[in-house]
Structure 1
Amino acid sequence: MNKGFLAIAAVIVAVAGGAGWYFGGPSEPAEAAVETVAMVDGVQEMTLGADDAPVEIIEYASYTCPHCARFHEGPFKQLKTDYIDTGKVKFTYREVYFDRFGLWGSMVARCGGEQKFFGITTELYAQQSEWARLQDPVAIADALRKIGRTAGMNNEQLDACLNDAEQAETLVAWYEANAARDGISSTPSFVIDGRTYSNMNFAEFQSIIDEKLN
């Protein structure tokens, strides 16, 4: 998804039933965003693999990004099997919020905690062509709730997560700070041992990782 960051910052309006958020106002300057990294509390890093793995990969992705969906349906599965599950790579997933629906997806994915996060993420991408293309925000919220229910949550839990304005503000600040620090301008992007890369296929991942492992 090659597009400039949506200016999402201060104004968040909850709509009944978790149907909508409104983003407005200019983003913070990059310098200010970087300074907020250590001050943003309440956001758990979602990781897979061994903490002491020799290679670290951080993915920046949006739940409404078609390229991200294709990555998770293809190269990510190979990456997980060959490198994450074998203890060679520690993988961290960080959400990017180009639009309000991507934020809603994130809030649903995080609603069940770390244990449910990656399972819900898989479903959000697998069903992206269905829910993300709906024109009605209420229908999108309902579709996201449905995905959340398949993970064992009920509507009361999901509504509480979708209407948590404080958490939404925290997530947006966290995203902007990390993206500014790592120079993220498109999705998916990857930070491999501190160096930022744009989208790539599995063979390219393999080449970079194997070189580092050797």
Structure 2
Amino acid sequence: MSRPSRDQQRAQARAEREAAERAAQQQAQRKKRLVQLGGILAAVAVVAVVVIVAIGGGSNDSSSPTNAGTVSTTGDAALNAQAEINDRLSGIPQSGVTLGRKDAPITIIEFGDLQCPACAIASQQVLPSVIDDYVRPGKAKLELRDIHFLGPDSERLARFGAAASEQGKLWNVAELVWANQGQENSGYATDAYLRAIGNGVPGLDVQAALATRTSGTVRQQLAEAKTLARINGVNSTPTFLVGTGDGPLKTVGADALVSELQQLSAGQS
């Protein structure tokens, strides 16, 4: 048997090095998500109860962000927070990845992953006031850039959300998924699960969304999200970019988002 050439040895070494770098990056992202999660808990005391329930597994409290076991895949039962989410978003314009008026003076971009538990907590404890106090009155518009880096379930959820965005329903899907998450990378994002989520969104053509998950438009939207994240140095979720007009956007965590919006809103008055 012939020995590998020097070029082959170099190629093999390079492949091994790149694989090790990818593994290290994924580990760093997971650690950073845990740090961010801790920041959210410190900022919003009530979240501690949710996290204890989610981690301990000793309660069936539906406020937990990890409740895929309660999701009916037959469409005969309501999803966690379904009525609350649909009521909160009702009447707010949606177009593509954007929730709110396109001419709103403040721009908020969330880099998220629909499977991310820290994103779920931010959805429950931070976004309601952001939507009620800033998006609905037209002070800010909120974009979701799904960078789906946690695994296969993340990608399946991201594709379904992107497909729903073509019908102006991305934020309904995202909020319902965050309120009804399953165990990370357990394979819970099945077609039955996605159908149950879709059935909870008023006006969504679920079959059309399922059918267009691999469309060029969906692929482009998700690719643009990852490009934008890379340009802005975003490597964990949730991360927010906030700013006004054509000026630069500031990177903030979920724990600092509301205070940043308060400052920007005061500057607009």
Same-fold status (TM-score > 0.5): yes
TM-score range, shorter chain: 0.5 to 0.7
- Hey, what's the Cα distance between the residues in 2 that align with 1:92 and 1:72? 13
* Alpha-carbon offset, residue 165 of structure 1: 6.4
Give the counterpart letter for 2:190 in structure 1: I
Residues 205 and 2 of structure 1, relative CA distance in 2, 3 Å threshold: farther
Say whether residues 1:122 and 2:175 are aligned partners.
yes
Find the counterpart in structure 2 of residue 102 from structure 1.
154
Which structure has the bigger radius of gyration?
Answer: 2
- TM-score (normalizing by structure 2): 0.55
Residue correspondence of structure 1 range 189-208 to structure 2 within 5 A: 189-193=239-243, 194-201=249-256, 203-208=258-263
Instruction: For residue 91 of structure 1, give the secondary structure of its aligned residue in structure 2.
Output: strand
* Alignment check: 8 A CA contact 1:53 1:88 kept: yes
* Alpha-carbon offset, residue 73 of structure 1: 1.0
- Bigger mean CA offset, 77-86 vs 103-112: 103-112
Deviations 1:12-35 (A, max 9, x none): xxxxxxxxxxxxxxxxxxxxxxxx
* Alpha-carbon offset, residue 74 of structure 1: 1.7
Say whether residues 1:80 and 2:131 are aligned partners.
yes
Find the counterpart in structure 1 of residue 197 from structure 2.
147
Residues 80 and 123 of structure 1, relative CA distance in 2, 3 Å threshold: same
Find the counterpart in structure 1 of residue 233 from structure 2.
183
Find the counterpart in structure 1 of residue 144 from structure 2.
93
Q: Any stretches of 5+ residues in structure 1 without a counterpart?
A: 6-43
* Alignment check: 8 A CA contact 1:108 1:145 kept: no
Give the counterpart letter for 1:54 in structure 2: P
- Hey, what's the Cα distance between the residues in 2 that align with 1:2 and 1:84? 34
* Alignment check: 8 A CA contact 1:97 1:175 kept: no
Instruction: Say which structure, 1 or 2, has more relative contact order (CA 8 Å, 6+ apart).
Output: 1
* Alignment check: 8 A CA contact 2:160 2:194 kept: yes
Q: Any stretches of 5+ residues in structure 2 without a counterpart?
A: 1-25, 31-94, 244-248
* Alpha-carbon offset, residue 143 of structure 1: 1.1
